[in-house]
Chains A and B, each alone.
Chain A
Amino acid sequence: MQISLDMKRRRMKRIVKEHASAYAFLLPYLVLFSVFFIFPFIYGLVISLFNWNLFFPEETRFIGFDNFRRIWFESDGIYYRYFWSGLKNTLIFVIFSVPFLVMIPLILAALIDMEPKGYKVFRTILFMPTVLSISSVILIWKWQFYTNGGFINALLLKLGLNEIPFLVSQPWAWISIIVVTIWWTMGTNMVILGAGLKNIDRSLYEAASIDGANYIQTFRYITMPSLAPQMLIVMITTVLASFGVYGQPDLLTNGGPDFSTTVLMMRIRPLALGTNANPGIATAMAVSMGILMVVISIVQAKIIKRRGDA
Chain B
Amino acid sequence: MAIRAVQNKRKNISFIILLIISILWLTPVVWGLATSFKTPQDISSNPTSLFPQTFTLQHYQGLFNRPDTPVMRWMLNSFIIAGSYTVLYLMVISFAAYAFSILKFKFRDQIFWVILSTTMIPTVINLVPLITMTIDFGWFGSWLSLIIPGLGGVFGLFLLRQFFLGIPYELIESAKIDGLNNFGIFLKIVLPLSKSALLVAALFAFMGNWNDYLWPLIQFSGVDANMWTLPVGLSKIAGTYNYDYGLTMAAAILAIVPVVIVYAILQDKIIEGVARTGIK
Partners in one complex: yes
Report which A residues bind B (CB closer than 8 A). Answer: 18-19, 21-23, 25-26, 28-30, 32-41, 43-45, 47, 54, 108, 111-112, 114-119, 121-129, 131-136, 138-144, 146, 149-151, 154-155, 158, 183, 187-188, 191-196, 199, 209, 215, 229-230, 233-234, 240, 243-244, 246-247, 251, 265, 268-269, 272-274, 279, 282-283, 286-287, 289-290, 293-294, 297
Minimal beta-carbon separation of A232 from chain B (angstroms): 9
CB pair B235 A290 closer than 8 Å: no
Taking CB atoms, residues of chain A closer than 8 Å to B1 are none
Which residues in window 173-212 of B have CB below 8 A to A?
181-182, 186, 207, 210-212
CB pair A150 B47 closer than 8 Å: yes
Roughly how many angstroms separate A193 CA and B274 CA in the complex, as a whole number?
10
Which residues in window 76-107 of B have CB below 8 A to A?
91-93, 95-96, 98-100, 103-106
Taking CB atoms, residues of chain B closer than 8 Å to A272 are 127-128, 131, 218
Q: Known: A29-B93, A131-B270, A151-B31. Contact between A195 and B207, CB under 8 A?
A: no
CB pair A40 B124 closer than 8 Å: no
Minimal beta-carbon separation of B105 from chain A (angstroms): 4
Minimal beta-carbon separation of B236 from chain A (angstroms): 9
CB pair B21 A114 closer than 8 Å: no
CB pair A273 B131 closer than 8 Å: yes
Which one, A33, A36, A44, A246, contacts B214 given CB within 8 A?
A246
CB pair B275 A134 closer than 8 Å: no
Roughly how many angstroms separate A141 CA and B47 CA in the complex, as a whole number?
14
Taking CB atoms, residues of chain A closer than 8 Å to B61 are none
CB pair A297 B120 closer than 8 Å: yes
Q: Is B277 an interface residue (CB 8 A)?
A: yes
Which one, B95, B108, B221, contacts A273 given CB within 8 A?
B221
**13 interchain pairs, CB-CB under 8 A:** A18-B105, A23-B105, A36-B126, A37-B118, A40-B129, A40-B133, A136-B231, A139-B32, A139-B238, A140-B31, A154-B47, A192-B274, A192-B278
Q: Known: A133-B231, A247-B214, A272-B128. Contact between A37 and B152, CB under 8 A?
A: yes
Q: Most B CB atoms within 10 A — which of A30, A34, A111, A287?
A: A111
Which residues in window 221-239 of B have CB below 8 A to A?
221, 230-235, 237-239
CB pair B245 A139 closer than 8 Å: no
Closest chain B residue to A214 by CB distance? B6
Taking CB atoms, residues of chain B closer than 8 Å to A34 are 152
Taking CB atoms, residues of chain A closer than 8 Å to B104 are 18, 22
Taking CB atoms, residues of chain B closer than 8 Å to A194 are 275
Which one, A25, A108, A193, contacts B18 given CB within 8 A?
A108
Roughly how many angstroms separate A37 CA and B31 CA in the complex, as a whole number?
42
Taking CB atoms, residues of chain A closer than 8 Å to B157 are 29
Roughly how many angstroms separate A293 CA and B91 CA in the complex, as a whole number?
32
Tally chain B residues at the interface, Cβ within 8 Å: 103
Minimal beta-carbon separation of B206 from chain A (angstroms): 10
CB pair A251 B238 closer than 8 Å: yes
CB pair B15 A117 closer than 8 Å: yes
Minimal beta-carbon separation of B257 from chain A (angstroms): 10
Taking CB atoms, residues of chain A closer than 8 Å to B212 are 133
Q: Known: A125-B22, A149-B47, A192-B274. Contact between A135 and B126, CB under 8 A?
A: no
- Bitwise interface map of B from 2 to 35 toward A, beta carbon under 8 Å scored 1, else 0: 0100010011101101110110011111011001
Which one, B25, B126, B237, contacts A125 given CB within 8 A?
B25
Taking CB atoms, residues of chain A closer than 8 Å to B31 are 140, 144, 151
CB pair A269 B214 closer than 8 Å: yes
Given A21-B181, A116-B14, 14 new contacts (CB under 8 A) = A36-B148, A41-B125, A41-B129, A119-B18, A136-B234, A138-B235, A140-B249, A143-B249, A155-B48, A188-B274, A233-B278, A244-B122, A268-B124, A289-B122
CB pair B96 A25 closer than 8 Å: yes
Q: Is B66 an interface residue (CB 8 A)?
A: no
Q: Is B151 an interface residue (CB 8 A)?
A: yes
Q: Known: A25-B182, A246-B213, A279-B132. Contact between A139 and B152, CB under 8 A?
A: no
Taking CB atoms, residues of chain A closer than 8 Å to B27 are 151
Roughly how many angstroms separate A43 CA and B157 CA in the complex, as a whole number?
24
Which residues in window 143-158 of B have CB below 8 A to A?
148-152, 154, 157
Roughly how many angstroms separate A123 CA and B14 CA in the complex, as a whole number?
12
Which residues in window 242-262 of B have CB below 8 A to A?
243, 245, 248-249, 251-252, 255-256, 259-260, 262
Q: Most B CB atoms within 10 A — which of A36, A54, A112, A246?
A: A36
Closest chain A residue to B266 by CB distance? A131
Roughly how many angstroms separate A40 CA and B132 CA in the complex, as a whole number?
9
